A and B are shown apart, each in its own frame.
Chain A
């Protein structure tokens, strides 16, 4: 069967940016050939997974307040099935890392990420998590969380508006929708920009 580009309700494929990445994933899947039974099972699984993404409450600074607005009545994250913010990494599907990660916090973030169950995803929310943002020149701020953990979606802004957070959430949903779980996962260990030295 043929795998198609992921669909998000009320949004066209062209409405999104960075489609090359998704198109490439689709092409990879199709090149290998997808079994109809397994493919349908994958679609079912991806559909359910992408619509019940449980975030992990991981807010260190300003972005966390916008994330709270996202959960409140006006923006209402529940429309995406993502309102069940979990306080334990073991119950969550993705980390939306909101706020600066400092040297002292870095081992904590790494550990929390490792405690999450597979499949797990990371959204780097805000300028600080992408590159250090306004604190890039600081002596104790990590220059982007991708030095520590692999990132799926980068969400710029200082802090990003709630609408932007939804966009990031939808991008993550699209990514999940073209993932193959049965019959050999195409979801390999993600590359890291930085590998810490063994002691």
Chain B
């Protein structure tokens, strides 16, 4: 860490470095930030922008960037802030890390921070006629300002860019167009069976060839991050399950770990093991759903039923232990809510056996099918460099050859004890993404079998640590990452150390994997047929509420 610290200070003299936290914290002013960011990427190989979190510190508005070195998996974070609240401006880094493009638009939407030199400074989640920026601490939530508008939204083709003159430093607004007047634009969604939710694409076509995809998001933006700021810590847990509902246990596990880290609670081994098993079950369930949807989008309706048949086995396990099929609310701060069902281990073993046996059937049915092969092999290519640039994690990233499994790179929970492989492929096409998922099911089964043995070996039935009734965190901020079923899911938690009994988080940000995935839709669909848009997005496999939060 000391070595890294000296190398960073050599890059930028003005940077203030603080190494007291879990990750190295660098504070720079906006004037030096862009140059510093470029050097960080080129010289220190911080090529992966893990998270970009906008924060309102009352006296200043700013952004916290979490950067990862994709070789050594070191993480640092950088704070950049501006004190101008009326017209806050920061320099964009979307030319350095492509993933910042949408993330900066999100910050603009939430905080009104304008990013200089960003190519497309539009709102991302909220309607264009929305008044105010909701995550600011001084946001006026008067319902009269923003009523339920029932008139249709006007398609905005106008965008803008704030350009800085390199010599004088003067910033001017330049109007740009999303689509030119002579382009043929068709609309897909928000109500479309194959967008897997309420996602909307505006697709510019040349004949049947896709020229550009403009992603219009926010149809299921529920303002979770703002609501978390008015709830106590245990109450915020429920929202994690409703973002990516196909990774409900995993997301909740992540937030629990983040709060436990801040509190310094040690979770009993048995509880951690149960959580881990639930995570893996959830992952299998998610990949099976992804299989079902991918096959159905290509017209193989029968295969959809196969995927759902096995998911019911997993749902039964959840149902018996947690009392619900979906949105289980099982993990809690310090452990799990209740002990597992007496038949839990037996059920898990049975499910593992059945799924393992039936996976062969899936491959027979679908993987070798000539239609599936023609529609997926070589379609929707994503190279390793692009995957890193767009911070693609999870099965989609691993299909492009990026070693991004958080369970291996930054092991959490008990994953270090387990023997499993990180599935990677190098093709980077739709087929590779699909096959990575299928192989990950096998690995999850392997983990579950080992976990069953470990759980049997543990004596006693301690499932939750002693946790104070009123949870109060010291002032500070924490970041926790886990491997959710679609990629690295991160929680940024900031506390102001409020001494009042009902402490609420100052800022809670969820860095969802699907948000990054949506960034590559344009990239992978370009110059493909319009019909392949559906296969490609199905193979990327995102959950829309996870994007919109």
Contact = CB atoms under 8 A, between A and B. Distances in A.
Asked whether A and B interact, the reply is yes
Interface string B415-434: 00000000000000000000
A57 B193 contact: yes
B325 A102 contact: no
A65 B545 CA distance: 12
B542 to A, nearest CB: 13
A104 B221 contact: yes
A139 B146 contact: yes
B201 to A, nearest CB: 15
B198 interface: yes
Interface string B129-160: 00000100001010000101111110000000
Interface string A100-140: 10111111101110000000000000000000001101111
Interface in A53-79: 57-62, 64-66, 68-69, 72-74
Contact of A138 (B153, B197, B198, B222): B222
A48 interface: no
Given A60-B198, A104-B126, A87 B221 contact: no
Q: Is the interface of A mostly helix, strand, loop or mixed?
A: loop
Contacts of B191: 58, 108, 112
A105 B309 contact: no
A69 B312 contact: yes
B396 interface: no
Given A74-B309, A105-B219, A140-B126, A148 B545 contact: no
A167 B305 CA distance: 23
A151 interface: no
Interface stretch (B39-47, B238-246, B266-274): B238-246
Nearest to A69: B308
A60 B227 contact: no
B242 A61 contact: yes
A21 B223 CA distance: 37
Given A65-B246, A158-B327, A110 B223 contact: no
B221 A61 contact: no
Q: SS class of chain B's interface: helix, strand, loop or mixed? A: loop
A72 B309 contact: yes
A141 B308 contact: no
B222 A62 contact: no
Contact of B220 (A60, A74, A137): A60
Contact of B222 (A65, A102, A106, A108): A102
Given A66-B325, A74-B309, A104-B218, A137 B245 contact: no
A199 B149 CA distance: 11
Contact of B190 (A62, A108, A140): A108
Interface residues of A, number: 42
Given A102-B221, A103-B127, A105-B190, A72 B327 contact: no
A74 B549 CA distance: 31
A15 to B, nearest CB: 23
Contacts of A156: none
A196 interface: yes
A161 interface: yes
B354 to A, nearest CB: 14
Nearest to B293: A68
A103 B146 contact: yes
B220 A135 contact: no
A108 B219 CA distance: 9
Contacts of A139: 134, 139, 141, 146, 223, 226
A103 B242 CA distance: 18
Interface in B169-213: 190-193, 197-198
A142 B146 CA distance: 12
A104 to B, nearest CB: 5
B376 interface: no
A122 B441 CA distance: 38
B227 A138 contact: yes
Interface in B377-424: none
A69 B315 CA distance: 10
B48 to A, nearest CB: 29
A186 to B, nearest CB: 28
Interface string B295-315: 000000000110011011001
B85 to A, nearest CB: 20
A141 B223 contact: yes
Most buried by B among A66, A87, A103, A107: A103
Nearest to B242: A62
Interface of B: 125-127, 134, 139, 141, 146, 148-153, 190-193, 197-198, 218-224, 226-227, 230, 238-239, 242, 245-246, 289, 292, 304-305, 308-309, 311-312, 315, 325-327, 544-545
Given A65-B326, A69-B315, A107-B150, 18 more contacts: A60-B197, A60-B219, A61-B544, A62-B326, A65-B289, A66-B325, A72-B308, A73-B305, A73-B309, A74-B312, A87-B193, A102-B222, A104-B218, A135-B223, A135-B224, A138-B222, A140-B222, A196-B150
Q: Which 4 A-B pairs have the closest CB atoms?
A: A72-B308, A138-B223, A62-B245, A87-B193
21 contacts: A60-B197, A61-B220, A61-B545, A62-B327, A64-B197, A69-B315, A69-B325, A100-B222, A102-B222, A103-B126, A103-B148, A104-B219, A105-B220, A107-B149, A107-B151, A135-B223, A140-B126, A140-B134, A140-B146, A147-B148, A148-B148
